[in-house]
Amino acid sequence: ASRHAAEVAFALARGSDARIMLLNVVEEGRSDYRFDSSGAARERQLNNAYQIVGSLRELGESQEVFPET
């Protein structure tokens, strides 16, 4: 769903002065891993969020739209 939303935003922004901000919200304390004392699950969530935003940024740049991250 986020990729489709980004594609629509890129199509609307292309050739205009519109600004696009990409973000992926990771809620603290919402992990299914209640006993993640090492923080590994949280770290995975953050890494996944960065990868998603990075891939959407690359998609925008390939369409000559340069989103903020």
Global pTM value: 0.79
54-65 pLDDT, tens digit each = 999 999 999 999
DSSP class of residue 20 equals: -
Tokens found for residue 10 = 């890129």
In this prediction, residue 37 has a pLDDT band, given cuts at 50, 70 and 90, of low
- Here the tokens at position 59 are 């998609």
pLDDT tens, position by position, 42-51:
888 899 999 9
How far is 10 from 60, CA to CA, in rounded Å? 6
